[in-house]
Amino acid sequence: MSAPAANLRINADRLWDSLMEMARIGPGVAGGNNRQTLTDEDGEGRKLFQRWCEEAGLSMGVDTMGNMFMTRPGTDPDALPVYVGSHLDTQPTGGKYDGVLGVLGGLELVRTLNDLGIKTKHPIVVVNWTNEEGTRFAPAMLASGVFAGIHEQDWAYDRVDAKGKRFGDELARIGWKGDEEVGSRKMHALFELHIEQGPILEAQGKDIGVVTHGQGLRWIQCTVTGKESHTGSTPMPMRKNAGRGLAQITELVHQIAMDNAPNAVGAIGHIDIYPNSRNIIPGKAVFTIDFRSHEIDTLNGMVERLMAEAPKLCEALGLGFEAEIVGQFDPPEFDKDCVKAVRDAAERLGYSHMDIISGAGHDACWINRVAPTAMVMCPCVDGLSHNEAEEISKEWAAAGADVLMHAVVETAGVVE
Ligand code: HGY
Ligand code: MN
Ligand code: MN
């Protein structure tokens, strides 16, 4: 397929305006967003995206996991589409760009092709994947995981949030349970634009990250059980304090990651302590360990060491310990041809670039299992993400969307 001309560029102002308008839906309390999956705010964001897509002449399909597919026809209706997209759901204290840049970057490339009357052989489909974040309903990348055949849909429907609400019920409640069979779509390729969510590109002074691999992930949900009792009248030797188990395991997780540096990370982000009363010794702690590495042996070794040492720590404190893997994927390697299309696009457009391993998980990690897939990354200020202060520049957003457009258009084939 012939490469697009180097002067083919997206409309940076229009992309930025769309990002800012979407950010007004589900605002956070500190300038970011709280548009968690399957909330009313998510439903509102979906409607805005649908309206914009339909204004751009795209036709909508929605599958049984609520994944949204917005199609721009190609000249060859039998050609498998090139997909482009990410997620509109956010963390509870999320930023304005995590996921959203990839969805609206996909819409912007369609708008630009429309402006210029450019036709492609393969159709182009812009995607919004449901529940990428996994913060309300674990695991992360739930709907792209069902699409890729990793998870069963019934299992996904039964995932519950902290208030006991079911994923399947909430999807129906907001009116986004589609009738298309999830996973029935076949793809020629998929590209995802995403902010790096780390400090490397900014520190190296690069506009574009050419993502060759991703880290693998293990989410281990632990339950430490002790005994609730009075914080004033219970003698210290008699206490069974679940909080101490949490504290020592938090330190163990950190040490395991540090012992495997630099190719490993680990932390505990989700913590529920029971009964969470000022004058009751915690009887139970439920928390999720997040281990990641791009080396599968390192990742598995971290889990093995945790599962060997944590029960002993708890036993010494007179506490019970149980653990369950509630989310996992092995380190993905993206499609070499798609990665080359991204790298060539950055070269052609004159953007500085470097190969990079994605620290965060993305829907592309699962779709990589069922179709040739690659990612484009742009820097973010101080590498900060999953924080309302997440920030990028308009120039970074435009550079990422330009490279995304060139990679997609080259793969979809320009029809003269
Ligand atoms: O957890 C992740 O890496 C992604 O941001 N959901
Ligand atoms: Mn994301
Ligand atoms: Mn995220």
Closest atom, ligand 1, to C-alpha of 141: 6
Q: Is 133 in the pocket of ligand 1 (CB under 6 A)?
A: yes
Tell me 43's DSSP state: H
List all residues 6 or more positions away from 295 whose beta carbon is below 8 Å from its beta carbon: 263, 264, 331
Contacts of 160 (CB under 8 A, 6+ apart): 137, 166, 167
Closest CA to 377 of 347, 343, 336: 343
The CA 168 to ligand 2 mean position distance, Å, reads 22
In 3-state terms, what secondary structure has residue 285? strand
Closest ligand by atom to 218 CA:
1
Q: Is 132 in the pocket of ligand 1 (CB under 6 A)?
A: yes
* Ligand 2 centroid from CA 8, angstroms: 27
Q: Is 361 in the pocket of ligand 1 (CB under 6 A)?
A: yes
Which ligand has an atom closest to residue 145 CA?
A: 1
Closest CA to 33 of 86, 87, 90, 88: 90
Cα–Cα distance measured from residue 206 to residue 268, given in angstroms and rounded to the nearest whole number? 31
User: Which protein residue has the closest C-alpha to ligand 1 atom 6?
Assistant: 133
Contacts 24+ apart (CB under 8 A), 166-170: 167/38, 167/131, 167/137, 167/142, 170/38
Answer whether 126's CB lies under 8 Å from 84's CB. Answer: yes
pLDDT for 6: 81
CA distance 185 to 178: 14
* CB of 390 sitting under 6 A from ligand 1: no
Return the pLDDT at 296: 97
Distance 403 CA to ligand 1 centre (A): 23
Sheet with strand 320-329: strands edge to edge: 265-274, 284-293, 216-225, 320-329
Give me 250's structure tokens.
């938090």
Ligand 1 centroid to Cα of residue 97, in Å, is 13
pTM for the complete prediction?
0.94
CA distances from 117 to 111, 112, 120, 357, 405 (A): 10, 8, 10, 36, 14
Among 33, 100, 132, 215, which is best to mutate for testing ligand 1, by the most ligand atoms less than 8 A from CB?
A: 132
Instruction: Round to whole Å and give the CA distance between 234 and 27.
Output: 45
pLDDT at 1: 58
Which of 234, 217, 228, 239 has its CA nearest to residue 285?
228
Residue 347, CB-side half-sphere exposure with 13 Å CA sphere: 8
- Please report, for the chain, how many H helices and E strands are present, in that order: 12, 14
Contact indicator for 365, 213 with CB cutoff of 8 Å? no
Residue nearest ligand 1's atom 2 by CA: 361
CA of residue 132 to ligand 2 center, whole Å = 7
140 close to ligand 1 (CB < 6 Angstrom): yes
User: Of the candidates 151, 138, 194, which has an alpha carbon nearest to the alpha carbon of residue 356?
Assistant: 194
**CA angle at 299 for the pair 298 and 303, rounded to the nearest 5°:** 115
CA distance 283 to 270: 17
The low-confidence residues of the chain, meaning pLDDT below 50, are none
Does ligand 1 come within 6 angstroms of the Cβ of 127? Answer: no
Q: How far is the CA of 129 from the centre of ligand 3 (A)?
A: 12
Q: Residue 331: which of 383, 368, 306 has the closest Cα? A: 368
Q: What is the pLDDT of residues 332-379, one digit of tens each?
A: 999 999 999 999 999 999 999 999 999 999 999 999 999 999 999 999
Ligand 1 touching residue 102 (CB < 6 A): no
Pairwise CA distance, residues 82 & 88, whole Å: 20
Counted residue by residue, the chain has a size of: 416
